[in-house]
A and B are shown apart, each in its own frame.
Chain A
Amino acid sequence: MSEGITLEAAAAPRPRSVISEGRGVRWLLTGIAILFLALFLVLPLLTVFAQALARGWAAYFEAFAEPDARSAIRLTLTVAAISVPFNLVFGVAAAWAIAKFEFPGKSLLITLIDLPFSVSPVVSGMIYVLVFGSQGLFGAFFIEHGIQIIFAVPGIVLATIFVTFPFIARELIPLMQEQGTAEEEAALTLGASGWHAFRTVTLPNIRWGLLYSVLLCNARAMGEFGAVSVVSGHIRGLTNTLPLHVEILYNEYNFVGAFAVASLLAGLALVTLVIKSVLEWRYAGDLAAGGRH
């Protein structure tokens, strides 16, 4: 890798490597890349924290004392606590069926699981309005039975499940395909039950991939904005998740409050990135090749 090149270059001082650019070009390109990333990625992130603390710590913590902020935090945690385990069970089941067995139509199934990735967040929310909304397919049925889905928590959960649907399956399928079926077959031959083989053979093999994908799934579930915005109805204290609360505060020109709440989500993103990077550095072999999202 690149470390090898520079080591060689350092060991042999004069004749520079023929397979790298000149020093000047290297500096220029590195400079451009870092400047570009600093301007487009790091500066916005720093802005979040700078704006949140623009009026000091007291104003910062005030934003979380509000009952609306608390209920937004509670709702976001609730939605993640339902949608992530749902996608976890789905992801493991789908990966087991797809990776451990051969059947026709497999690649179509994988494509369909991937579908939510290519749908606009707004459209992801909208399709649930078309099904459960007052003028939707089953809207009349649910209204008759007094069950509200759109502009209520169930709709938010459904939209979140939709946008995070592929995350876990997408990581586990290639990982379990790489690992094959030999170890499970050995366990079964030795008399283990299917469940026992899964728990003691498969699960330890996929644990880092599982953690990795749950992490990314959770980050998206807690941060989803477009899809949730369409189905939520923006009822303060009832159907506002954290990202929606950020929007409301910002549109009310309560910038410190908006950025304070946003800093909570930015912190979550940073923690996610750090753990994700550590997993990639430490356990690259235990993650699906090209499993980066």
Chain B
Amino acid sequence: MVATPPRRFHFRRPSVIPGFGLTFGYALTCLSLVVLLPLAALVARASGLGLSGIWDVARDPRVASALRLSFGVSLLAALTASVFGFVVAWVLTRYDFPGRRIVDAAVDLPFALPTAVAGIALASLYAPNGLVGAQLAKVGIQAAYTPIGIFIAMVFIGLPFAVRTVQPLIAEIDKEVEEASATLGAKRLLTLTRVVLPPLIPAVLTGFALAFARGVGEYGSIIFIAGNLPFVSEIAPLLIVIKLSEFDYAGAAAIATIMLGISFLTLLVINLIQAWSRRRFGYV
């Protein structure tokens, strides 16, 4: 394990710097009390139900429809955020235009703006009498209080993830490779699709997965615009809140467990993508 075999076992490599016991102990205590213990309570509650109990909750038509809605719309929203996020990241790193830095800073707005504030702003914009909603209504689209509204809110909160995971990698692209490709006679489009884009794919996928995971769990920015009609526009996190308010802890824990399970799968996929990228391109 350790490069030079120590004479006796040390948990940590010996160092002159003091304070390991104190800081490590304190950090571990905080972590256990704040994060691990409450999460363990969820696991305990869910394992009390057993797999069959969780499956029963998931099969309930209302729960199934909420889960389908949350995951389905989040998938579409993450896809949209990834496509536009890539364009935004490309424009911000490759082109120069007045106000570029301000636009760059604005990308983080969904991180900084409280979700409830974003939620009521989006709801009032896209409501049938709202600024954008009225225009959409003219062409026969109702955004607010339908899954389209949920989609819009999820794009909003997912966008910074899509931009910020790709942006540093675009900045790091070795321009000589592009020049070589151009010198060898490739048209710009060919250079982009065959030389520039392939190494960026893992980052795009990571951004997609992060936006997707965030969208599935999101609550505050969605519930105002969603309308929350059961079977139509009721998202899974809202159903957890409803079950909790009915003191149906078991039902809430079951839905949460399903969501956590799928989130962990997403994280696993991200790690696999990054491992694959490291093998294929030598970096994450």
Binding site for B on A (CB under 8 A): 1-3, 5-6, 18-22, 26, 29-30, 32-34, 36-37, 39-45, 47-48, 51, 86, 89-90, 92-94, 96-98, 100-104, 109, 112-113, 115-116, 118-123, 126-131, 133-137, 158, 161-162, 165, 169, 181, 184-185, 188-189, 194, 198, 216, 219, 222-226, 229-230, 242-244, 246-247, 250, 255, 258-259, 262, 265-266, 269-270, 272-274, 276-277, 281, 290, 292-293
Contact = CB atoms under 8 A, between A and B. Distances in A.
Contacts of B256: 120, 122-123, 126
Contacts of A247: 116, 120, 224
B109 to A, nearest CB: 5
Nearest to B240: A122
A92 B12 CA distance: 19
Say what secondary structure dominates the interface of chain B.
helix
B141 to A, nearest CB: 15
B88 interface: yes
Contacts of B110: 41
Interface string B67-86: 00000000000000000100
A188 B24 contact: no
A104 B217 CA distance: 32
A215 to B, nearest CB: 9
Interface residues of B, number: 102
Best-surrounded residue of B11, B106, B114, B152 (most CB of chain A within 10 A): B114
A1 B260 CA distance: 40
B34 A246 contact: no
A51 B129 CA distance: 13
A97 B106 contact: no
Contacts of B101: 277, 281
Contacts of A246: 116-117, 120
A149 B5 CA distance: 50
B134 interface: no
Given A48-B117, A113-B31, 8 more contacts: A3-B96, A6-B96, A40-B155, A104-B11, A129-B249, A194-B19, A243-B220, A246-B117
Nearest to A234: B245
Contacts of B109: 41, 45, 269, 273
A26 B30 CA distance: 50
A7 to B, nearest CB: 9
